[in-house]
Structure 1
Amino acid sequence: MRYRQLTTGSLALGVILLIDVLRVWLPGIITIFGQAASTPAELMGAFALGWFVLAAAAPALVRRVGARPVTVTAAVLLAAARLALTATPGGRAQLWLATAGLLAGLVWLVGVAGGIDRPVPGLALGLAVNAALHALLDTYDLAWRSDWTAWLLSAVAVGAFLLATAVRGTPPGPGGARSWLLAGPVLLLAGMVALAPALAQTAMSYLVADDGVASSPLFGLAPVPVAVAGFLLAALAGPPRRPWGRALGPVAVLAGAVLFALDNGDLLLAAIPLTAIGLGACLALTDAASAVGPARADAASAVDPSRADAVGGSATAAGVGVGEAGRVDALRAAARRGYALAAGMLVFVLAAVAYYSAYDLGYPNGAVPVVVAGLVAAVAFTSRPVVGPPAGRRSAGSLAPLPTTAVVTALAMLAPVFADKVGVSTNRNGPPKEITVVAYNIRMGFGLDGRFDLPALTNTIERQRPDVVLLSEVDRGWLLNGGHDTLDLLADRLDMPYVFGAAADAVWGDAVLSRWPIEDERTLRLPAVGAPTGAQALAVTVNFSGGVRCAVVSTHLQPPPGGGPVVQARAVVDFAIEYAAGRPLVVGGDLNTEPGDEAFGKFTEVGLVDALAAGRPLATSPADDPRQEIDHVFVSPGLTPRGPVAPPGTASDHLPVAVTLTLPPR
């Protein structure tokens, strides 16, 4: 295998491991460093930014010590941290291991940038394979699993990465700074939109939902192979030669980002392939601009053997000296690439903090992905192309575009083939006499220890043998939370179809799951009244057969600063009463109000019954030392509650509440 193939493979494997670490580190900022929304968003943002600023000093370290020792040392630390994350039980140890892995990964990338002037094939391959694997694992990554399969596959990836890193690459040319500058912005847009399997699955659920009900469609992940194929082909096949063709990639990535920013679930399916193809095409434009002619390549490659490591390569003619000017030029080119990579990763973290902090601080954030896409488009479009392939330096880094794309796309196509399909359970003997309702704030699927622990979450719910589940804080693809579709993952494990109500944006909100058919979905966006995170009320009708139907409303009230959610509570009550139209009614969720509060009274003053009254006090937050009674279930007088409980557990920062309801006779 050629050196350039090994270099490309090493870069791709390192990118895969770094993204794995990011999917653990980013949620840790919220769930471990931040505590139950009590940590200021500014402090969490400063914590995130600080490590990327620290990594920005790595080019100076590379210039002083040499790229080779820095790259190898950082690669070993990245690999060790990635393996350790599979074993860590969560908590502070997990946060600091992930932080160490992140910092090592950033320093490793800087070192690699010093020695690679054509990074596009490796970057593109790493991003595409990671997306395919993330989809194949149903967005539940190996780092969160502890079975022997997870250990084996993680060890294989780490071992292959270290072996590839041990091989010295060929000497770099003077270009590549633009490609490395785009690494961070492309990583952000790929993780948020273009190569995000959870977002693709969510987009499909909007598309196939029948009357608002999604049942984990068999081909929910079908957009992933399309996005992966479009991205890889655009990145590896090279840019169009015609001037107008060069504008297609920048226009596509901008259009995709705009569609994503419009915050409409029905537009996500178009945003994904547009952004994917646009990103690939923009990378191809910078890759073509990195090419140098044979004469310049030879001059740049003739590095003094005594300082070969300073630019990450080795002299092609050992013992043949070069002039001081050539050595200085090579060092400068390596430094430019390193600083460009560091700058691009700063764009990544600044944009990520700016986008997700908006849900705590309350400012519009739709412009953030559009601005990042604009940066990618501008850097790519202003790259000067080289006419014709340079002698001896293949644009794709010795990767054949069509075979490589076919293999990775085939891997991605396994995801929809193996996807689970949830069925609808019904009672053939007629309507039940009793049903059990569970209301649970699941904190995006992360427990108090900061681990994304689906088995614990599933067991907590299943122990109550629920018929209807009302979920709050449901995440369906935020990069900040690791890019999981928590709702679909839970629906698969509980074998319960779901209806989703978007609140903060198209992929974050509330849900209703039911073992019985659901119909007539409606949503109401609640007034913000100063609370930055969006709130909504989701109403559905559960059909228990035999003419027995029950209206169910799931909501998560957001109190304004210094007050209670009185305005939102009144809006939910009016909406629920009108929707039920005299039928039995259940209203529940994380209501952020306690018995005796004014907002609590808005539910009881219209005749709704506190279904948990017999179990009071029934504190649910925080889960490890519950003191607040803020999760509730209210029912209409025709429903008789019994046995209310708040079962202990730490699968979230809240406890669930469960109650059995006797249905009225027909």
Structure 2
Amino acid sequence: MTPPSRSSFARTDTLALAAGILLLVDLLRVWLPSIITIFGQAASTPAELMGAFAFAWFAVPFALVRFARRVSFVAAAGLATARLALVFVHGGQPQLYVASAGLFCGLVWLAATAARGGSAVPGVPLGLAAAALQHAALDTVDLSWRAWWWAAPVVLIEALIFLWYCWKPAPDPSHGGGWLLAGPAMLLTGMFVLSPPVVAMGFGGLHDRVVGQPPPFVPQVVFGLAVLAFLISSLSVRSNWSAVERWGRAGFLLLGTLLAAWPEPATGSWAATAVVPIFLASILGSALAAARRPAPRPSGYPVLTGMLIFAVGAIGYYAAFDIGYPNFWVPVAVASVPAWFLIRGPAETSAAPADSPALSFRVAAIAAVVCLAVPLAGVSFRPAPAGAASAGGLRLVAYNIRMGFGLDGTFRPDTAAKAIAEQHPDVVVLSEVDRAWLLNGGHDDLQALSRRLGLRYLFAPAADQYWGDAVMTNLPVVRSESIRLSRAGAPTGAQALGVLVEYGDRRLAVVSTHIQPPPDAEPLVQVGEIAEFATRFAEGNPAVIAGDLNIEPGGPALRAFADAGWADGFARFRPVRTFPADAPAKEIDHMLVNGLTCTAVTVGTAVTSDHALIAATLT
């Protein structure tokens, strides 16, 4: 019997690594939001304790590096089992600890794979690309949150492919490097480079900080080209880069990451359009290719160090919104790791190993078809239904969706959309809308709800350019505008989004906002800014301010609104409790009206957020 060739062994290792990275990325899309929503308990858990819990799962595998190869297949089986279990295990402590156990097993398996001496390339970039394409094909709502009867077979097939190739690894893999870049590449691709919502937002148009819906197909095509550029550049190794080219690539990687992370949308929108994602993807792929240097003494420590960088970067970026420090530098600091590999350049003798898959024209053509066709699978081809004014008045829904996650830490866009649709709204005002945050799974909440409800949307960023407030409607929109609100001591940013709609033969101004009060103080500064903006924006038309205002009836903030001419629309219906959603006790979601009256006030019962939705008819 002829033994398998070295190329077949290398291909086996490559496919095992790619399949494992796919499972690990999908698992992280559940584990990361579970840390915030389940362990963090909506910011009620001290940040220090939450951070220590999260970092522990990345630190403990370091103690097992010496034994990792002995338990490699067991760890691989643990990763695959946990990933499959998360299709069925939703919510609460079971979800948190199944995801945590899967993460631990995945990191041990990664350390064992690196310790065997193989290269991280092309397996890691192939896995990251596969995860991004699957995420796009599922319209950013991952398999964990889909109907189990079809999601489970898909995950099972992925897990079996992974375990099949892990069962008989190459006995003598060629030594290679690049493992330190696995974590930074995972963070940068998830946040900016291979994130479908980030690319789509760049084509939504920008006017007074308001982002609308992108044109059909164009963002998906650009996203596919970015994935293709990432793959091709990561599989190509050149040893004749000049110093100018090496420093230029590193500089563009750092500059592009800075633009993508910059909090001001005027800059960030450019960073999310066609050119920058494609070039960023190409340069990050080049860094992975340059990092593939011979590793004479293979070890699992570099890959675990890279994953620790991932954890520090992810948690450090998002913790800023609670603690209050500028965080745009965090992704730039992470990008400095691949930038260093770019400056260092590939080794003179590190041409593509003979046992790696050749990047032939046929392979490139197949990759192009896959990268362009798969993202389009997530596009709804059904046009949104035309809006029509309700006979008894305009029906308005206000809902703080908490990035789409319920109190139990589950992501239920179908249930949330059904709860909103039951109110038959003409206009929907949304708070805490997440368009691409990796910490919350990289979902596009607004796109998911928009397609399920058949409503167009306008989005305005607040904390950064990917998190804020929105208005959904099919009524004709005359104009829109957004202003940044003063923080006045609050760590998280806020804004006010005005949308002027035509309702029958009248015009009505809707202002969506989410007040972020300063610690132990009333948000009187923001109240004054919102009232002044809404009055100016309405231009004498009837108007409503709606959203999660984080103020109580009878308090000085609500009196300040009244003094500015904005009446409490719920005054005749008090108490109108909306928080927390499972047992409402607080009245912090409001509708303030000028020239309008609220009737038929309804508090929803769906627990798809930490707030209950509130609906009213405006006459």
Which range, TM-score by smaller chain?
Answer: over 0.9
Shift of 1:576: 0.2
Letter in structure 1 aligned against 2:284: L
Counterpart-to-counterpart distance in 2, 1:42 and 1:342: 22
2:344 pairs with 1:340: no
SS in 2 for 1:138: coil
Deviations 1:142-187 (A, max 9, x none): 11112422111111101111111111214134542xx001111111
Q: Which moved more, 1:557-566 or 1:241-250?
A: 241-250
Shift of 1:372: 1.2
Counterpart-to-counterpart distance in 2, 1:399 and 1:207: 42
SS in 2 for 1:623: coil
2:48 pairs with 1:42: yes
Q: Which moved more, 1:205-214 or 1:2-11?
A: 205-214
Partner of 2:281: 276
1:554-573 residue pairs with structure 2 within 5 A?
554-573=512-531
1:41-80 residue pairs with structure 2 within 5 A?
41-62=47-68, 67=69, 69-80=70-81
Residue in structure 2 matching 1:576, options 534, 546, 551:
534
Letter in structure 2 aligned against 1:500: F
Shift of 1:274: 2.7
Partner of 1:143: 144
Contact 1:78 1:101 in 2 (8 A): yes
Partner of 2:25: 19
Contact 2:249 2:283 in 1 (8 A): yes
Counterpart-to-counterpart distance in 2, 1:510 and 1:345: 32
SS in 1 for 2:205: helix
* Structure with the greater alpha carbon radius of gyration: 1
Letter in structure 2 aligned against 1:283: L
Letter in structure 1 aligned against 2:55: L
Contact 1:219 1:417 in 2 (8 A): no
Shift of 1:647: 1.6
Percent of paired sites with the same residue: 42
2:319 pairs with 1:357: yes
Shift of 1:423: 4.6
Shift of 1:388: 6.9
1:288-437 residue pairs with structure 2 within 5 A?
289-290=293-294, 333-335=297-299, 338-383=300-345, 385-387=347-349, 389=351, 393-394=353-354, 397-400=356-359, 402-414=361-373, 415-416=375-376, 418-420=378-380, 423=383, 425-426=385-386, 432-437=391-396
Counterpart-to-counterpart distance in 1, 2:92 and 2:215: 32
Shift of 1:379: 2.8
**TM norm structure 1:** 0.87
Counterpart-to-counterpart distance in 2, 1:389 and 1:509: 46
Counterpart-to-counterpart distance in 2, 1:631 and 1:579: 22
Letter in structure 1 aligned against 2:120: P
Distance 1:376 1:473, change over 3 A: same
Q: Which moved more, 1:362-371 or 1:114-123?
A: 114-123
Distance 1:513 1:436, change over 3 A: same
Counterpart-to-counterpart distance in 2, 1:43 and 1:50: 11
Contact 1:259 1:271 in 2 (8 A): no
Contact 2:478 2:501 in 1 (8 A): yes
2:618 pairs with 1:658: no
Residue in structure 1 matching 2:576, options 610, 618, 626:
618
Counterpart-to-counterpart distance in 2, 1:452 and 1:408: 31
Contact 2:240 2:348 in 1 (8 A): no
Shift of 1:417: 5.6
Distance 1:427 1:4, change over 3 A: closer
Letter in structure 2 aligned against 1:100: A
Shift of 1:233: 0.8
Q: Number of matched residues?
A: 606
Residue in structure 1 matching 2:562, options 595, 604, 613:
604
SS in 2 for 1:290: coil
Partner of 2:269: 266
Counterpart-to-counterpart distance in 1, 2:176 and 2:367: 28
Partner of 2:454: 495
Distance 1:212 1:346, change over 3 A: closer
Counterpart-to-counterpart distance in 2, 1:467 and 1:132: 34
Shift of 1:489: 0.8
Shift of 1:217: 3.4
Distance 1:384 1:468, change over 3 A: closer
SS in 1 for 2:298: helix
Distance 1:86 1:210, change over 3 A: same
Contact 1:439 1:657 in 2 (8 A): yes
Counterpart-to-counterpart distance in 1, 2:313 and 2:118: 26
**TM norm structure 2:** 0.93
| Misfit runs of 4+, over 6 Å | 207-211
Distance 1:273 1:207, change over 3 A: farther
Shift of 1:424: 5.6
Counterpart-to-counterpart distance in 2, 1:184 and 1:59: 17
Q: Which moved more, 1:137-146 or 1:247-256?
A: 247-256
Letter in structure 2 aligned against 1:117: G
Counterpart-to-counterpart distance in 2, 1:209 and 1:128: 34
Contact 1:604 1:610 in 2 (8 A): yes
SS in 2 for 1:239: coil
Contact 1:472 1:509 in 2 (8 A): yes
Partner of 2:496: 537
2:233 pairs with 1:234: yes
In structure 2, the gaps of 5 or more residues are 1-6
Letter in structure 2 aligned against 1:499: L
Q: Which moved more, 1:274-283 or 1:501-510?
A: 274-283
Deviations 1:180-221 (A, max 9, x none): 011111111111111111211222223699985326734332
2:434 pairs with 1:475: yes
Contact 2:208 2:482 in 1 (8 A): no
Contact 2:209 2:481 in 1 (8 A): no
2:593 pairs with 1:642: no
Aligned Cα RMSD in Å?
2.2
Partner of 1:217: 216
Distance 1:212 1:182, change over 3 A: closer
Contact 1:219 1:416 in 2 (8 A): no
Contact 1:643 1:660 in 2 (8 A): yes
SS in 2 for 1:120: coil
Shift of 1:347: 0.8
SS in 1 for 2:578: coil
2:425 pairs with 1:466: yes
1:176-255 residue pairs with structure 2 within 5 A?
176=177, 179-206=178-205, 212-214=211-213, 217-239=216-238, 241-243=240-242, 244-255=244-255
SS in 2 for 1:205: coil
SS in 2 for 1:558: coil
Counterpart-to-counterpart distance in 1, 2:191 and 2:410: 21
1:514-553 residue pairs with structure 2 within 5 A?
514-546=473-505, 548-553=506-511
Shift of 1:455: 1.2
Letter in structure 2 aligned against 1:652: S
Distance 1:404 1:259, change over 3 A: farther
Shift of 1:609: 2.5
Counterpart-to-counterpart distance in 2, 1:15 and 1:399: 21
